[in-house]
Amino acid sequence: MEIVLVEPEIPGNTGNIARLCAANHMTLHLVKPLGFKLEDKYLKRAGLDYWHLVDVQVHENLQEVYDKYPDRRYFYATTKAKHTYAEVKYEIGDMLVFGKETKGLPEELLAANYEQTIRIPMIEEARSLNLSNSVAIIAYEAMRQLNFPDLKNLGHLTMKGGN
């Protein structure tokens, strides 16, 4: 599973997503322009000391991602999709694509890939969820379906006290 952020604007969100990617062995793709510098203190703080655990790739544009990974499946997160994220049967190597915090993904991109768009259900009055929360919701569903690949230490967790 790989995460693609198209033109992210808020360093704290990207830092949180980087930490999620590090903890789950996912590559994080950042598509320019970025709303911050990679040296930003808020970005670094949100990612804590996990930066050495995450593969961050920076791309000039989305076409560069497509060219580098032509055989991958891409799913585009948007509030405008007819299918929910839980309806997808995810596969190893899928690319989960998210747009910038203020505008989401471009309308023409969504229209061209409508059958691959996915949404998180929410009430009509809510415009959207926080970007890092949205990434976590969808990424963990994908990993759950795949039985949490690369996370070998799940068996060490046990309940104490008979609960």
Q: What is the pLDDT of residues 28-60, one digit of tens each?
A: 999 999 998 888 676 777 656 778 889 999 999
Task: Please name the fold of domain 2-156.
Answer: Alpha/beta knot (3.40.1280)
The pLDDT tens digits of the residues spanning 83-104 come to 999 999 999 999 999 999 999 9
The DSSP symbol for 52 reads G
pTM for the model: 0.90
3-state secondary structure of 27: strand
Residue 152 banded pLDDT, cuts 50, 70, 90: low
pLDDT at 140 over 90: yes
So where are the chain's domains?
Answer: 2-156
Q: Tell me the binding residues for S-adenosyl-L-methionine.
A: 99, 120, 128
Q: Tell me the binding residues.
A: 99, 120, 128
Predicted local confidence at residue 157, as pLDDT: 47
Predicted local confidence at residue 162, as pLDDT: 47
Closest CA to 40 of 51, 31, 27, 29: 51
**How far is the C-alpha of 119 from the C-alpha of 90, rounded, in Å?**
14
Q: What percent of the chain has pLDDT over 70?
A: 89
Q: What percent of the chain has pLDDT over 90?
A: 74
Q: Is there a contact between 86 and 141 (Cβ–Cβ < 8 Å)?
A: yes
Average predicted confidence (pLDDT) for the chain: 90
Phi then psi for residue 126, to 5 deg, are -90, 125
